[in-house]
A and B are shown apart, each in its own frame.
Chain A
Amino acid sequence: MYGGGYIFEETKNGSPENEDSRKLEIFEARIAAGEKIEPTDWMPAEYRKQLIRMIEQHAHSEIIGALPEGTWITRAPGFRRKLALMAKVQDEVGHAQLLYSAAETLGKTREDMINDLITGKSKYSNVFNYPAVTWADTAIIAWLIDAGAIINQVANSKGSYGPYCRALERICVEESFHLKYGHDNVVFLATGTPKQREMVQDALNRWWPPIMHFFGPSDKISVHTETLMRWKVKMASNDDMRQKFLDMYVPKIWELGLTIPDPLLKKNEETGQWEYTEPDWQEFKRVINGDGPCNKERLAVRRRAEEKGEWVRLALLRSEEKYTVPLS
């Protein structure tokens, strides 16, 4: 997973006007021509800053996202599900590794990024501040959150920054397996015993609002991002991605006989657009600012992992003074 929607800061200083106009012109021409920008190329300070912010948030979302699903590995029912979930969550951690590396090419170290995560300075996808209450929640996450992430990440993989695009291409291939796994899991529950059906419907009811939040605030209330779109940092509008998701997955959910907890949800055949109850953006803001059901727990777990592992990282840093052996 887990791209999440675009949440950018307002552009303040470092706006393109302060950049060398000739270099900026060449830079923008390259992007317009579909070229990729590489780590050693000149780039505006604002481009670097916003990319670090976006890739870092994405990487954090992967390791924090590993927690709600990871906690069900030890409870997965049967070998098939246990092995598949282990492999899936492992992939997510691998995505974090790839993304931190991509962000490092822009000049911020993995240690600094993780430090900003555990001190609460840097954000991650809001959906992971909600709990995975039952086994069925993991099925819904693997299917629908990963599906949302693919829509977001396929768009981003056509962006302008080379290392991020290449990481995303690989990530998308793996995500497509996660989606298949999640769908298979939901199908078994939805067509299973009455208890299994009840579990999966409850999970869908719980996860629908976070899923609608997933693509980020409506374009009507988002900050202006024309420059970022011209620079191919932001590749699609939040509302467009939400529409695309609804178009692809609402029919599949209904096909399984499940009910979506939004009485207003329907496709307007004239406009071709989905109509839905406006997500509660006040709640979205409240949760992203730290007041969700799991924010404190997620960061506490991550912080504890960092603290407990510190001696290992320190031991590795200086061990070559006495002993040198490649790690792999």
Chain B
Amino acid sequence: MKEFNELNDKKTTAIKDLLYRLADDQLILGHRNSEWTGLGPILEEDIAFSSMAQDKLGQSQALYQLLHQIGEDDPDTIAFTRKVNEYKCCHLVEYPIGEYNFSLMRHFLFDMSEAIRFNMLGSSSFEPLAKISKKFKGELKYHTMHAVTWINQLGHGSGNSPAKIQASLDECFPLALGIFEPSGYEDILIGEKIFFGEKELQEKWLEAVIPVLKNANLKIPDIKNIKASYGGRKGIHTEYLKPLIDEMTEVYKIDTKAEW
């Protein structure tokens, strides 16, 4: 493909790093969300979380496929055989599903960033990424619609529901800021118009999430005094990622050459 041949080494490295970050986030959060299957607070939420998890898995597979086209291994090998410190996901997606309020808040904060990210990547100069981003955008529309509806409902819900949602917001916020940990390739990505950069994404994300949170009667955390949970993009992860990867690859590693 023409667009692949034109990539020079430096640019390729930057694109690969970006794709790994995006794909690993989708894979790990998709894996986490699938853990709700059979255990949701109501059947309809089991089904909703499963649908979103399937979308995320499909998105990660498509992004790994792009990586494969620019010289990396095939999607299964990439997803199921790397070492833990080779994953580039952010800390937010690694945490266990916890209580429903945690999973819901994580889904809201993460998918709001995804919707903006893939909307803007729709005009990336790296055409294959622009093309699949447009497809993802259509899927993410429903994820954010789901998240916003529930945050609203439970923020205004009866009993201890608002307090639980507030506690999750406070817990998730530093982790969510870790989504926007800058990579070592921001200048190239921005200069080459591949991606507009994590800083700009974070600003747009704040503009989008704050009104929803306020509308749900929630207190916005003091952003200036919060330390973002960085490290994931460089392969430094929380204690939760290794057990997840071990579990995910348990069967695959019985024989990585076998066809399953």
| B and A form one assembly | yes
- One of B37, B47, B61, B156 near A322 (C-beta < 8 A): B156
Find chain B residues with CB under 8 A from A135 CB: 251, 260
CB neighbors of B among A66-124 (8 A): 66-67, 70, 72-83, 86-87, 89-90, 93-94, 96-97, 100
Report the Cα distance A79→B260, complex, angstroms: 10
Whether A66 pairs with B247 at a CB distance below 8 angstroms is no
- Decide yes or no: A325 and B251 within 8 Å by CB, A74-B34, A311-B160 being known contacts: no
- Decide yes or no: A193 and B100 within 8 Å by CB, A70-B38, A93-B46, A309-B42 being known contacts: no
- One of A66, A70, A195, A314 near B158 (C-beta < 8 A): A314
Give 1 or 0 for each of B240-260: 1 = CB within 8 Å of chain A CB. 000010011011101100111
- One of B58, B152, B159, B252 near A77 (C-beta < 8 A): B252
Report the Cα distance A195→B34, complex, angstroms: 28
Quote the shortest CB–CB distance from B95 to chain A (angstroms): 15
Quote the shortest CB–CB distance from A264 to chain B (angstroms): 34
Most buried by A among B79, B154, B158, B160: B158
- One of B38, B80, B252 near A93 (C-beta < 8 A): B38
Whether A193 pairs with B37 at a CB distance below 8 angstroms is no
Q: Determine whether A33 belongs to the interface, using a CB cutoff of 8 Å to chain B.
A: no
Find chain A residues with CB under 8 A from B153 CB: 315-316, 319, 323, 325, 327
Find chain A residues with CB under 8 A from B149 CB: 325, 327-328
CB neighbors of A among B209-260 (8 A): 244, 247-248, 250-252, 254-255, 258-260
Q: Determine whether B127 belongs to the interface, using a CB cutoff of 8 Å to chain A.
A: no
Report the Cα distance A135→B249, complex, angstroms: 12
- One of A81, A86, A305 near B50 (C-beta < 8 A): A86
Whether A73 pairs with B80 at a CB distance below 8 angstroms is no
CB neighbors of A among B72-88 (8 A): 75-76, 79-80
- One of B58, B152, B159 near A325 (C-beta < 8 A): B152
Report the Cα distance A325→B50, complex, angstroms: 23
Q: Which residue from chain A places its CB closest to the CB of B64 in the assembled complex?
A: A79
Q: Determine whether B69 belongs to the interface, using a CB cutoff of 8 Å to chain A.
A: no
Whether A87 pairs with B159 at a CB distance below 8 angstroms is no
Find chain B residues with CB under 8 A from A311 CB: 41, 159-161, 164
Find chain B residues with CB under 8 A from A96 CB: 43
Report the Cα distance A318→B160, complex, angstroms: 12
Report the Cα distance A135→B31, complex, angstroms: 17
- Decide yes or no: A70 and B37 within 8 Å by CB, A196-B258, A308-B100, A312-B42 being known contacts: yes
Total number of A-B contacts with CB less than 8 angstroms?
Answer: 151
Whether B43 pairs with A97 at a CB distance below 8 angstroms is yes
Find chain B residues with CB under 8 A from A93 CB: 37-38, 43, 46-47, 50
Quote the shortest CB–CB distance from A104 to chain B (angstroms): 13
Give 1 or 0 for each of A217-256: 1 = CB within 8 Å of chain B CB. 0000000000000000000000000000000000000000
Find chain A residues with CB under 8 A from B258 CB: 192-193, 195-196
Interface range, A side? 35 or more
Q: Which residue from chain B places its CB closest to the CB of A301 in the assembled complex?
A: B39
Quote the shortest CB–CB distance from A99 to chain B (angstroms): 10
Interface range, B side? 35 or more
Report the Cα distance A100→B43, complex, angstroms: 10
Find chain A residues with CB under 8 A from B164 CB: 311
Q: Determine whether B129 belongs to the interface, using a CB cutoff of 8 Å to chain A.
A: no
Whether B100 pairs with A89 at a CB distance below 8 angstroms is no
Whether B254 pairs with A318 at a CB distance below 8 angstroms is no
Give 1 or 0 for each of A293-318: 1 = CB within 8 Å of chain B CB. 00000000100010011111111111
Report the Cα distance A325→B216, complex, angstroms: 12
- One of B57, B76, B154, B255 near A315 (C-beta < 8 A): B154
Report the Cα distance A135→B37, complex, angstroms: 17
Q: Which residue from chain A places its CB closest to the CB of B40 in the assembled complex?
A: A309
Q: Determine whether B54 belongs to the interface, using a CB cutoff of 8 Å to chain A.
A: yes
Quote the shortest CB–CB distance from A49 to chain B (angstroms): 24
Find chain A residues with CB under 8 A from B156 CB: 319, 322-323
Report the Cα distance A78→B254, complex, angstroms: 12
Give 1 or 0 for each of A188-202: 1 = CB within 8 Å of chain B CB. 100011011000000
- Decide yes or no: A76 and B251 within 8 Å by CB, A66-B37, A316-B153, A319-B156 being known contacts: yes
Report the Cα distance A319→B160, complex, angstroms: 12
Find chain A residues with CB under 8 A from B3 CB: none
Quote the shortest CB–CB distance from B30 to chain A (angstroms): 9
Report the Cα distance A76→B247, complex, angstroms: 9
Whether A313 pairs with B41 at a CB distance below 8 angstroms is yes
CB neighbors of B among A263-308 (8 A): 301, 305, 308
- Decide yes or no: A86 and B34 within 8 Å by CB, A74-B247, A308-B99 being known contacts: yes
Listed by A's residue number, 22 A-B pairs whose Cβ atoms lie within 8 Å are A70-B37, A74-B247, A75-B248, A79-B75, A80-B260, A86-B34, A90-B51, A93-B37, A93-B38, A93-B43, A188-B260, A192-B259, A193-B258, A196-B255, A305-B38, A312-B161, A313-B42, A314-B161, A315-B157, A316-B153, A321-B158, A328-B149
Chain A residues within CB distance 8 Å of chain B: 63, 66-67, 70, 72-83, 86-87, 89-90, 93-94, 96-97, 100, 135, 188, 192-193, 195-196, 301, 305, 308-319, 321-323, 325, 327-328
